[in-house]
Structures are given as structure tokens and as C-alpha cells.
Structure 1
């Protein structure tokens, strides 16, 4: 639990959580948005990579599966921006917003792993916190996505 790779992973997680919120709640398309956004993306990539050097439950686990989902989400969010695909802004917003929501859902799993001793309580605590985070995130994402399509 307290290894060098664990601390490095934690550092990337903290930076990602902060920069993800900063990007989410500031004006889009500005130089500031782009700079902080790239810090978010780099830290998320490093966060996902370092997750594979951490062993949970004696090998590949559900946490590793969701690290892959997170990695795909980040790549899917950046591809439209870099290639300027059709409807790139909506695609970028959608995937990057879900990336931040997913990061906070993963945060609840990490908290549960560290602080909930009983496995039965762990899964319920994580499930409820994750569901609420995803539900609130979906509401915010859908509300903002409607604004993007009107522009």
C-alpha cells in the first residue's frame, strides 16, 4: 500500500483531480483551458500507466480494467481535438467530461480500499458513492452538452 509507485500514482491522481476540476469549471477554449487541459491529460496518462504497476487482489483486477477504460476515454477525448474531426468539440467535451467523472468515481474506490475494512461494506460503499458521482456527473455533462450543441 505504501510503495514508491503508490506515492507516484497518488501524486498523479491529486494533480489530475485538481486540474480536471479547474478545466471543467473554467471557460473553454482559452489558452488557460488548453494548458491546464494538457497537464490533466499527461497526468491522467501517467496515472493510468502507474496503475498497472500496482497489484490489487493478487493480479489484474477490476481497477486495472477501469484504468483501461480511463485510458480509452482520454484518447477518445483528445483525438477529435488533434484531428479536428466532425463535431470535434462535442466529442471532446463528452469524453473529457466523463474522464473527470470517472476519475472521481475511481477516487471513491481508492477511499473504500484504504478505509473500509469489511469487503461487503466496501462494495456497497463504493457502489453508492460511484453511482451518486456518476449520476451527478451525467446531469452536469448533459446540461452543458446541450449548451454546446446550440452554439
Structure 2
């Protein structure tokens, strides 16, 4: 992976991770949260768009392109409830959960990218192991916080 598209991909990946960490660290629903959310969405669109332009030597569409499409789907599914305030009474927890999964997927991709570059580690086993580890840990985090998010959303979902 080299060239200007790869550089763009890496830069927007780092931006999305940094902004995502901040978003999950600050109070939700604030103007800062909203602005950073737009930055996160823009960075994710750029990194997934660039991922769809990166090809192996043979130029074929591969599993990482599918992952980019799934990431775009999760990102879109997480953004739409906020913009439409739908479903009524349930858009906030839906937004939180889908954006959480978007971030988990981003971290899984970063871990897979880092792990497979360790010398002496097999390519596919490292990617699968790294990705599964992050999704299991991230899934546990989403599950643990789901009830709290639904309870907190009960106070503001009519907005």
C-alpha cells in the first residue's frame, strides 16, 4: 500500500480514530459532540472511499473492499436516525449503537493492519485473529453500555 491514495487513507484513518476517541470521551449531545460527529463522518467517508480505490497487484475487488462497504453501511445507518430523529422515541440509542459499531469496526481494521505487519506472522490468521479479538471486546463494551444508553435516551428521545 503506497501512493497518494494510501496516504489519504492512512491520514483519514488516524483522524477518524482520534476524533472517535474524543467523541466517546465527552458528554453526548453537546455542540462539540455534534461538530466532532460531522468530522468523524467526513473522515470515515474519506477513508472508506480511499479504501475502495486501493487494489492489490491483480486489481481485483477483495475482502477489504467488502469491509469498506460494510463500514459505509454502518456509518450511514448510524447517521440517518440523528438527521431524521427517527424512529420516534428510539433514534438516540439506535444512533449510539450503530456509531459504536462503526468505531469498533474502525479499530478492528487498524488492529488488523498493524498485526499483519509484524514480521513472521501469517497474513490471514493475523487479520482474522486481530479482527475477531476487537469485535469480541468491542461487542462486550457495546452490550455493557446498551442498557445505560437506552435509559439515558429516555430523557431526550422526544427531541
With the length of structure 2 as denominator, give the TM-score of the two structures. 0.87
CA shift, 1:25, in A, is: 2.1
- Measured against aligned partners, the alpha-carbon deviations of 1:21-63 in whole angstroms (never above 9, x if no partner) come to 1112221111111111110010001111111111036211100
Matched, 1:147 2:140: no
CA distance in 2, matches of 1:5, 1:49: 10
User: Where does the alignment leave 5 or more consecutive residues of structure 2 unmatched?
Assistant: 153-159
User: Where does the alignment leave 5 or more consecutive residues of structure 1 unmatched?
Assistant: none
CA distance in 2, matches of 1:60, 1:44: 20
Instruction: From the superposition, tell whether residues 93 and 57 of structure 1 become closer, same or farther in structure 2 (CA, over 3 Å).
Output: farther
CA distance in 2, matches of 1:30, 1:143: 23
What is the number of equivalent residue pairs in this alignment?
A: 149
- Measured against aligned partners, the alpha-carbon deviations of 1:9-30 in whole angstroms (never above 9, x if no partner) come to 1110000111111112221111
Matched, 1:91 2:91: no
CA distance in 2, matches of 1:4, 1:114: 20
| 1:109-148 mapped onto 2 (5 Å cutoff) | 109-116=112-119, 121-148=122-149
CA RMSD of aligned residues (A): 1.5
With the length of structure 1 as denominator, give the TM-score of the two structures. 0.91
- Measured against aligned partners, the alpha-carbon deviations of 1:48-100 in whole angstroms (never above 9, x if no partner) come to 11111110362111000000000000000000000000210011001100000
Matched, 1:12 2:22: no
